[in-house]
Structures are given as C-alpha cells and as structure tokens.
Structure 1
C-alpha cells in the first residue's frame, strides 16, 4: 500500500497546475487575439477528468485519487471576464498578469501535497474529499455559491449635451474708409456654463447675394473687428456669429447694407453753452436758436420734439451749410418740451437735446383763512396755487388793509412758507388780508383775500403809576484819587493832581507846610478845580518851593484832606559850567 501512493502524490499536483494558468490566461489574451483559442481547448479535458477520478474509490484507492478533486471549486474563476479597460491595457500589463497566474499556480500545489498524506492516513478530510469526488456536480455548485464572480464597475452618466450661445447684441458700424469697415457689438445675453464662448466669426456678403464668407480666419475674442481689403463703393451685408463647443449661435445682422466709402468729416453738433442747460422763456416772447454743426458731405438735418416731428404751425427750422435755426414767433406753454437736433452723414450721426421751458405768471393761492386772533396778533394759513405758471413757486407776498382807510400795505415779501403770524397790529382796528403767489415771472395778477375780518379788541387798562420818591444825593467830601509824592528839578514846572466828590459841591483849599496858599497873592501857584479834578500848578519852582502840600475838600457834611511831599532838586551841570559858576 505505501508504494502506490508515492507516484500518485507527485502526479496529483501537476495536473491541476495547468488549470491555474489556464484560469488566469484570459487576462493577457485580450491584448493578443491569437492567444485566446488555446485556453478554451484546455478547459475541456478537466471537465471530463472528474468522472475518471471518481471511479477510484470503488477499487479502494479513493483516499489517493481524491486529492486532484480540490481544484474543482476554482473552475468558476476561469470564465471570469476581464475588466472593460483590459482591452486597451498595454502589453506590459498583460505580462504582469501572466506572472500573477504562475504564482497562483505555485500556491495551489501546496494544498494539493498537503491533502495527499491526509488521504493516506484515512482522516475525515479524506472521506470529505471522497464524497466530493463521488458527486462533482454538487461540489461545483457549492463552490459557485461561495465564490461569485465580481460585477462589472458602474459607469458614470454621460455629460449633458453642450448648447450654443444666443446671438451677439447691438452690432453697429463704428468707422469706415475706402477699403475697410469697423464694426462693434456686445456679448450674447445667454452663454451656457458647460459650453462657454470660444470667440466670434464676422461674415460678409455683397448686397443681393447670399454667399456669406468669413472675414476673420481665426476666431476673435474682442467685440470689435476691422473688415479690411474691401472695394470702394461695395454695399456689404455684415453679420456676427458667436461660436462655442455647442456650435454656432444665431447670426446678428446689421439691418441696412454698409457702403464702403470714406467719410470726409463726421457730423458734429456744436451746441452753445447757454443751451446745455434748461432754456427758459416767458409766454409771448420770441425764440430764435442758432445751432452750428459740421460734417462732410453735407449732413442731413432733422428736428424732433418729444420724439415726434415738429409742428410747422408752431415752429420753423431754417438750415444752411453751417447752422440750423429753430424759430418760434410767439412762445406758448405748449411749446415747452425736449427738442432734439440730429445731424447725419451716411451711417454716422450726432444728436443734441435742448430743453425749452415756457413760463408765465402763476395763479393766486387756492385758499386763505384766518386761523386765530389774540392780543395784537393774527394767524393766517393758505394753500399753493392751482396754476404755478409752468415753474416752481418762489414765494408769497402778504398784505394787510385797515378797514378805516382801505389802503393795502406789504407785511411779508418773498415769504416761502404757507402760514404766517402777523404781529404789531393796532388795538381797536379791523384788518383784512390778501396774498399773491410769486415765481420767476413775478407776482400773480390775482390774489387770494380772506373772507372774514380780524378785529383787535380794545381792552380797558387801569394804569396806576408808582409814586416818585426823590433820592437824596447829598454826600460828604471824599477823595477818589489822592496826592502822590513827587520830585522835580529847579526851573521845571510841575503839577499836583487829585480828584474828589461830594454833594453839595465841596470847597477846595491848598496848603503848603500847613499854610494856606492864595492864588491871588502868589502868581507862582495856579489852582484849578473842574469836574471834581483838583490841580495845583507850581511854575518854575526853586529850592525853597519843596515841602509838604495838602489839598482840603470841605462842605456842610464834613471835610477831608490828602497830602504829599514835593522835592525840588538842583540841576546837574558839566565840569565847565561848574568852573564858570565858581568864577562868577
């Protein structure tokens, strides 16, 4: 018995080994179609070999022959389809697949050799292997239920289809010459997010034909293009198409054919400065506006009022080679509005707008009333006029009239508010009020008059005067400014000053060294007393005039003294003068 299993153990692992290689062979076979047929032919013999090995258990050699039955559960792996990307894989990936298949076959030999000794010793594993060999279909079904083939990966949904843009906008002629035309346009209104915008194609054709040709060989990103190399005098139809990955947009076409011709001078309206703001005239006045312009060849001039042609019955236009005149003989409020002058040369034009406002006097305030009367005051209120004269109200003029005289007098002028308080009215009088509205033309011709009257009631007042108490102004003498000590030089006059007040007027007496000085006895002294200011003037004093001087003020209520010291100094002479004095 031991001699028979030995050769069987070596043969058993060699037969399933080719199956492992054949099971993984389809992976590289996708790269080379010539290698696909051999693996398919090799797969057939293993399926027939299973019944041959199943007969071995009947002869008592079942434990030995059961070992090759283990590769049967791996048969479902052989028909597993390769991934979809394997067909595009490079040859290097196919070679790596072959090496992986050889390694898997080597790993399969180890369990086959381990299963053979177990079969020889009659272990339970050998009995299970014998049952698997006896029923190969059941074993294959169990293996298929355990190891299911992998599912193919789910592909992402396809991207949404790309859409073209909408047509470009506002295609206009910017400039032109004898051989070129410059056009501009605006980007499309709608540009899909998933498509974007690659650029624009400018297409041209002559008038009367449908042979559209692209003027630009390469898509342009700019919204401005110069169509060059054209023939002078041709009339071109021009259109612009936006292009993106979604395709071409609808074309945007210039409505009128474009004449390829040099423009001598573009049209230009030279609007005077005073017409650049609102032009105001009164009703009945004459309007004569001269507006210069330029352009070659001779421009075509047109006028509009509020977007409509002028009424020849109201306004006349006279145009020369250099200017255009708008003339209205007598302006009316209906002539107010926005006037537009257009100067056109071929496809080019220039416009100027003039706002004319015709105004007149406003109407009176709509209503006026007396709100309240108290004391010497009257409160008035009024409303704005129904007709403002086609301009804003700048103010109001309020007037009053006394019932006795009936004369009107202005109380308020250029008053901006709609209410006022009239003050300083005369007691006992009755007043009537009226108001005029005012605008740039002046005061309204009519006025609003109060329906009622305002009477200032006279009140009886019992006046009791306060009794007069005479004030006693009597006061004893008092020096407000006292004498101050002074010094002077021999031969130089000086003055002593002081001030005194008192009622009745005090008597002033000057004393020197307590002796009263008399102005009449000694002309050296001069005494002056004016407005309370007392002055003693000493003329050319000598050394003996120094001493103490006192000023005394005296009245019926008392007396008061103030004094000072006067120092009379000798003059300082030069040395020559001293010698002369000594000689003398």
Structure 2
C-alpha cells in the first residue's frame, strides 16, 4: 500500500525533515521508498498562441493559451503589453494581473494599429512574453449573422395540448443582428412571447392548442447580411374543423353528405367522423348515422319536406374535434319531373294564355317565360307584354326546394293577335 501522508516536522534554511506512516500492508521483500520533491525556482513559459477574437473602433479583444510549463507552481495571472504602430516602446495595459486567458484592451485610437504580447507570472516572477505576429487594427468588425446552436438543438418540438414550448436560439453578428419570428402559413398566437438579447432569442408558446402547430422561422439581419432557420412545432390535440360540407344524391327522405378532411389532424390520425342532424325548428342534435371512416355518408329516414341542418366532427386518439356546421338547411326532396307539355289556349295582340301539363304545380313552383323567372302556382298563366304580329314559343320548368327540373317540350308557335272568329282546341 501507499505510505501515510508526509508531514514536515523540521524546517531550516537548507533542509526539511519529513515524517510519514508506513504502509498498512507491506510486500514480502524489503520496501524501497523513493522521495520526490519539486523546487519552484523557475518562471513559467510563454503562452503558445495569442489570437485577436474581436475588434471595435476603440478596442481589441485577445485570447491566448496557457503556458506549456508553469515553472513548477501555480500561475498567478498574466501581464498584457502593447506597442502602437511602428513604435518600439512597449506599455503595460493591465495594472492588476489578468487571472483568465482573455482580455479586452479598451481606449484605443480609432483606425490605429497595435501589437500585443502576453506573459505569465508565478511566485518566482514574470515569464517570457509571447508576441502577436501581426498588427491588430482598432476598427468595427462586420460579421454577417450566424446561428449558434449545438447538436442537442431540437428541429421539431412535440407538446401535448395545454403544454408550453420554448425555442431558444443563440446567434452572432456585427453589428448585433435584429431578430424577427414569423409563422409559416399563419400568424403568431396571442399566447406567444418573444425575448431577444444581443446573443440569443427565445420564442415561447404558452398553453398550446392545435392552432400552434406549424413551422416557425427566425430571421436574423444586420448590415452584413441575413440568416434564417425554421423550427417545427407539433401540438398533440383533437382534430380541427373538417372541410366544407356538400349535399349529393338527394332523394325523398334521404341524401348523401360529403366533406373534406380537417387540415389539422391534431398530430394524430383521424379514426372516424361523426355526423349529426337537427330539424331547423329544433335545437337538439342527434346522430344522423353510425360513425364512419369515410368522408361521405348516406343519411336516410329523413322527413320529406322538413329542412335539416347537418354538422360533422373528426375524432382522433385525443378526442372529438371541432364541428363544421352547414350554414343553411337542406330538404331531402327529389327534383320534380319536367312538365309534360305546354299549350297556348288563347292569344291577344299583346298576350298569350298558357296551360301546362303534369306534374301538377304546388307551392314553390317556378314558371320560366322568355328567360325571366316569374312565379306561378297554377296550371294556367297569362303572359303579357307581347308584340303584335310576332310569333312565339313557350316552355315551362317546375321547381321545388331540391331544385329546378328540366324544361318541358316547347309549345307550338303562335302569333300575338286577336283570334277573331277563331277557335282553339285544347287537348287533354
């Protein structure tokens, strides 16, 4: 084993007496105990490298390496000296020893050139100086913005709904860059907080929702250039609103409803959709049909002639999302068939009286005459405003809440004139 801790028991001007305890366990043979001592009688070596890390119009920042040999004892600090231009005289810069291996020399003349040298000091004294090989000029350095991140930086941040995200990015640049944050394809939320200093900027999103999902871009800019970086944020939440609804294949008491998937799925796959309905006269929503994994659904058992509202919601593993509700009600009624025929049963010099066949018109029927929409709720209609002597033909459309029918066959031609002594046969 090793001996006990040595202790100096007697010291004079030329010698030191040292005592120590023997090892607890010795070896089978005799033990040899060499004694080593270090005599701190040397000054430290010079630093091996001196670099200029930055300059302004009144300062120069220096950095250097520790000496390879400290002279056998602790280095107390460093002395920095400088020489202006071609002058031969060196001046000490720091009154007190510099305890670290970097120093900023201030109060320099703008545009002037300087040389610097550094030496280390221990208890024995001042070591040899290391001189810079080239002059350093006191001028403002221009440096384009640089992103200062390491391997641990996350390019994508994932957070649960209600949590928070902080994106911290360091940067460099001369002059100090301005930092601006934007959200790609969107605007920053009201709960967004931005903190920026001369060396870093941080974007914090508090109480995150699915609306905070997206890409965020930091842009750094100064007079020397610009630099950008984009970071993704993914919020795990319920899905957003599905796309607009459309109604297809309307028949009596049934219809097909279709929609687009939500643009924001809440960070998880949509499992299925829920479609609900309510009569326009009621406030209560009920399921229109069983849940579906498709983006369309056939809804049946609707009351004919009753207007209904519909809404659709997407659901993922985090729950049921927001609903898209139709702004206007829809009636599950088929479009009417076109009238079978239209006959001219009477004329004057300025009018014609028409009779249309089946389907028999009910309320909301529309009669189209000469490209003008005129409501008609009977099987007969008198068209006014004709020009005497001109020949006319007519056709009729039927309309209900589901839409407009195709046109009937055109009537026979008739001239706008008074039928004096003439009779018109009405075919049944």
Considering the TM-score relative to the shorter chain, is it more than 0.5?
Answer: no
For the pair shown, the structure with the greater C-alpha radius of gyration is 1
Structure number with the bigger relative contact order (C-alpha 8 A, sep ≥ 6) is: 2
Give the alignment's TM-score, normalised by structure 2. Answer: 0.29
The structure where strand makes up a greater share of residues is 2
The structure where helix makes up a greater share of residues is 1
